[in-house]
Chains A and B, each alone.
Chain A
């Protein structure tokens, strides 16, 4: 499997290890039926979860904590799409939501909380509901 240095979302499982390293986090894997969840506990109490399908492709990421994670690292090649949506400044400083047929991104930053998720609807395994991707 090629080693991809970044790009969790849309990347392969090697990118999860890269994310874990970049975030100086610790990894824990939890196999599910249709996908595998890798949980990265960050250095400041936050947690990042990355969801890989049976072929190892990351189809979703989610995060929760007091501080923002490195979105460029987490979103990989999709970061520019977030950047474009955020640049519209549609809904204030505390929420950015991007909904497109191929990509959903939600970024929330409110008081001392920071959480959100991103997923690729076309790559979510059959039978998996977006609401599971928490």
Chain B
């Protein structure tokens, strides 16, 4: 594989302006109402959450990523300290951990360990047969395979004690079974684009009841010390856990708080806050709207250009807006992105499962020009999406610039509204 570049190189702006749809914004689900989001500004500092004891926060950054990844764009990173369970000495702080609201669970590349902590310091999880438990994760752009191990995660000042994590590319796990292989292998920092991934999406575990009820290829594997790995059912309690949900407090959701970005920038600094309505710094503003999500998929509806896209989602793990507009040309050299000749100012409306709606404005500029700036933060980066069975509008990282976004976990009910939901 040559010259793998995550999210490609680099690029100009118009903040995301969220416009209240007054009459429609209050048809259900609690804390609805109008909101006006946020333009202007720039630099660092972030939006509204403030105050509190500061212990439920960690700094997050958009930058070019780990050197091995060759330059990422619109990718959100933080640092996490990983320790052997109960230990304060067998620990390693890992930088460039991708912050991903599009998955749940902590996964670290084995090659990122080794300075303070070895993967063998982390107890290997076992399955119902007493055999080593390994896991396969299949993303859209490839697969990763590795061991499931127990670790303490310290993020900011909060600890997820002794939770199952995945060590991707762990030599002890060996090669991926054939039923895991799907697309390119992503077992290295270069191919994965980060030293680790911190999955803090709406779900408490990565797979849920489906993997408890059946042995599913491409998920958990029974890997006897001698012999081949075969898919195995895994109880929910032993699945990869959303680390924030495992905190002792501030564990019902997260807030992603990034400043507005009005032009391509080398870095963006912001804050990831733990909990919603648990401290004075993570209170959902009365002006915010809550959009409840499909409890099985984590998706909601977006209407754009007269078409409904019911499998839409908000995702820090996507580096642009991805949606279907055949009137905008894709770039000739990289058709994964749009290359309009002039900035396109567009609107779409989102609708939560409980009926709340809002109209969101966004801008699309020329991705080739964006990348030519070599900037890591590109506020108007966008590309085409497919329709699939249902169709999706992917509100990726550019959406998160300039307004705090509240991600409520399933099973909780922050602000009096049952999760999963997203609010801003």
Contacts and interface: CB of A to CB of B under 8 A. Distances in A.
A21 interface: no
Contacts of A15: none
A116 to B, nearest CB: 5
Nearest to B2: A87
Contacts, number: 203
B50 interface: no
Nearest to A45: B210
B169 interface: no
Contact of B336 (A87, A88, A111): A88
Interface stretch (B28-36, B125-133, B317-325): B317-325
A67 B385 contact: no
A102 to B, nearest CB: 13
A134 B280 CA distance: 45
Nearest to A64: B389
Contact of B394 (A43, A89, A95, A133): A95
A17 B203 CA distance: 35
B307 A131 contact: yes
Contacts of B322: 91, 95, 97
Contact of B139 (A94, A117, A134): A94
A68 B141 CA distance: 11
B389 A89 contact: no
Interface in B329-384: 330, 334-337, 383-384
Contacts of B138: 67-68, 109, 114
B5 A89 contact: yes
Given A93-B140, A95-B322, A112-B208, A117 B298 contact: no
B4 A89 contact: yes
Interface in A102-116: 104-116
Contacts of A117: 386-389
B214 A113 contact: no
Nearest to A109: B140
Nearest to A66: B210
B315 interface: yes
B100 interface: yes
A96 interface: yes
A92 interface: yes
Contacts of A97: 322, 335-336, 383-386
B291 interface: no
A130 B184 CA distance: 27
Contacts of B4: 87-89
Nearest to B181: A72
B386 A106 contact: yes
B385 A94 contact: no
B64 to A, nearest CB: 14
Given A88-B4, A90-B337, A93-B100, A108 B218 contact: no
A85 interface: yes
Contact of B384 (A44, A83, A99): A99
Nearest to A49: B389
A93 B389 contact: no
Contacts of B401: none
Interface of A: 43-45, 47, 49, 62-64, 66-68, 70-72, 82-83, 85-100, 104-117, 130-131, 133-134
Interface of B: 1, 4-8, 75, 100, 102-104, 138-142, 182-184, 186, 191, 193, 197, 201-203, 207-208, 210, 214, 216, 218-219, 296-299, 307, 311, 313, 315, 317-320, 322, 330, 334-337, 383-392, 394, 396
27 contacts: A62-B389, A67-B216, A82-B183, A89-B4, A89-B5, A89-B7, A89-B141, A89-B193, A90-B336, A92-B6, A92-B315, A92-B318, A93-B103, A93-B141, A93-B197, A95-B318, A95-B394, A96-B336, A97-B383, A108-B385, A108-B388, A111-B201, A111-B299, A112-B203, A113-B298, A115-B311, A134-B390
